[in-house]
Amino acid sequence: MGAIENLSERNTHFAKHHFTPGLKIAPQLKTLVIGCVDPRVDPAHIIGAALGEIAVIRNIGGRVTPDVLAEIALLAMLSSTLGGALGPGWDLIVLQHTDCGILRLQDPPDKLAAMFDIEPATLDEKHVGDPRAAIKTDIATLRHSTLIPGAFRVSGVLYDVETGRTEIVDGPEVLRLDPIDV
Ligand SMILES: [Zn+2]
């Protein structure tokens, strides 16, 4: 049996036993997580979130890239059309982890620099080789971005793939008091 057959079978079980109808689009915990695509670090699993509780954006490394910022700006638009404001009272969690595959993508730096939309010669500024410094760098990017709705509470968290435990590396910090119009 291939993966699709295996997963279709599991979905049948899910739909029968675990599906929750009537969930809202907006995450119940008012939480947006930026995480890595690594299958060992699925944010919902490692922080124990149920369906409908958190929204997640995943990329290689769980890094704050221009694409992620644009995505958050779109989510802010979406939430305002749904009658809720993404920002005040919300948590934004940058969730990165130890032993990340992004460590193996630094050389040559061209492709990773393109992901950040920076010059390859400046990739060191993203601290790809140091997860704690990378988290602080990304929190700083969020802090300085005009695309991020105001009053978001931002935290940077490191997950250890050896122990299953998380550590808060930066924050929580409320970004700014005045929400920007989106
Ligand atoms: Zn990773």
Task: Categorize the per-residue pLDDT at 91 as very low, low, confident or very high, splitting at 50, 70 and 90.
Answer: very high
Predicted confidence (pLDDT) at residue 47 exceeds the cutoff of 80: yes
Expressed in angstroms and rounded, the spacing between residue 22 Cα and the centre of ligand 1 is: 32
Cα 141 from Cα 160, distance rounded (Å): 23
Sheet strands side by side (includes 166-174): 54-59, 31-36, 91-97, 153-159, 166-174
Q: What digits encode the pLDDT tens for the residues 155-174? A: 999 999 999 999 999 989 88
Phi, psi (degrees; rounded to nearest 5) at 113:
-60, -35
Expressed in angstroms and rounded, the spacing between residue 136 Cα and the centre of ligand 1 is: 16
Q: What is the largest CA-CA distance in the chain?
A: 54
Termini Cα distance of the chain: 48
Expressed in angstroms and rounded, the spacing between residue 15 Cα and the centre of ligand 1 is: 30
Expressed in angstroms and rounded, the spacing between residue 156 Cα and the centre of ligand 1 is: 15
Expressed in angstroms and rounded, the spacing between residue 159 Cα and the centre of ligand 1 is: 10
Q: What digits encode the pLDDT tens for the residues 26-39? A: 899 999 999 999 99
Expressed in angstroms and rounded, the spacing between residue 96 Cα and the centre of ligand 1 is: 7
Expressed in angstroms and rounded, the spacing between residue 38 Cα and the centre of ligand 1 is: 5
Expressed in angstroms and rounded, the spacing between residue 17 Cα and the centre of ligand 1 is: 31
What pLDDT does residue 148 have?
81
54 CB-near residues (< 8 Å, 6+ apart): 27, 29, 31, 32, 33, 43, 44, 47
Task: Categorize the per-residue pLDDT at 181 as very low, low, confident or very high, splitting at 50, 70 and 90.
Answer: very low
Expressed in angstroms and rounded, the spacing between residue 89 Cα and the centre of ligand 1 is: 28
Rounded mean pLDDT, 66-74:
94
Expressed in angstroms and rounded, the spacing between residue 106 Cα and the centre of ligand 1 is: 13
Is residue 166 within 8 A of residue 158, CB to CB? The reply is yes
Average pLDDT value over all residues in the chain: 92
Predicted confidence (pLDDT) at residue 153 exceeds the cutoff of 50: yes
What does DSSP say about strands 166-174 and 153-159: parallel, antiparallel, or unpaired? antiparallel
Rounded mean pLDDT, 54-81:
93
Residue matched to tokens 């997580």: 33
Is residue 164 within 8 A of residue 46, CB to CB? The reply is yes
Expressed in angstroms and rounded, the spacing between residue 101 Cα and the centre of ligand 1 is: 5
Cα 89 from Cα 91, distance rounded (Å): 7
Expressed in angstroms and rounded, the spacing between residue 152 Cα and the centre of ligand 1 is: 24
